[in-house]
Amino acid sequence: MDAALWSTFSALFGAAVGGGISYLLNRQQLQNQLRVLQEQHKVEFMAEETARHFLSHKSYTDRSFDTLRKHLGGFEDDELRKILVRAGAIRVFRDDGSEWWRLLSRMDEYIERKQLDQIAREI
């Protein structure tokens, strides 16, 4: 082969290896930064995780704010509401004025259950 062709392939190979190493190092660095940030904000992450756990219970699509406040102690009311929103929950008010929360991802399940309850009442 020609020397110019060998030098071109060598340069391309070197660039590919260098790019691969750079990619792997950046990926590892980003994973490490994410772990550090999660550790720094562990209280918020765990509070969101716990809120999601309570709102994902198979028997209950809704939870009262009082119940959530009782189980997620240590937060002001507005701070707890922000945590619930970050966890993917929406707030609804019942006829009696009480505040209830449900996961937006479980809205279809809530509507289906409500329709079944309405059909059962009609029968």
Q: What pLDDT, in 10s, does the model give residues 19-41?
A: 999 999 999 999 999 999 888 87
Which amino acid is it at 17? V
Q: Are 66 and 19 members of one domain?
A: no
Is pLDDT of 123 > 80? no
Q: Are 28 and 69 members of one domain?
A: no
Is pLDDT of 3 > 70? yes
Q: What is the mean pLDDT of residues 8-20?
A: 89
Q: Are 35 and 47 members of one domain?
A: no
Query: Ramachandran region of residue 90, left (φ > 0), alpha (ψ -120 to 50) or beta?
Result: beta
Cα separation of 99 and 103, whole Å? 14
Query: What global pTM score does this model have?
Result: 0.62
Q: What is the mean pLDDT of residues 107-123?
A: 81
Please name every residue paired with 89 in a beta bridge, in sequence order, or none if there are none.
103
Cα separation of 23 and 31, whole Å? 12
Percent of the chain with pLDDT over 90: 46
Q: Are 59 and 98 members of one domain?
A: yes
Is the Cβ–Cβ distance between 89 and 102 less than 8 Å? yes
Cα separation of 86 and 84, whole Å? 5
Is pLDDT of 103 > 70? yes
- Residue 72: pLDDT band (50, 70, 90) is confident
Query: Which residue segment(s) compose the domain that 21 sits in?
Result: 1-40
pLDDT score, position 1: 62
Q: Are 46 and 104 members of one domain?
A: yes
Q: How far apart are the first and last CA of the chain?
A: 87
Is the Cβ–Cβ distance between 61 and 112 less than 8 Å? no
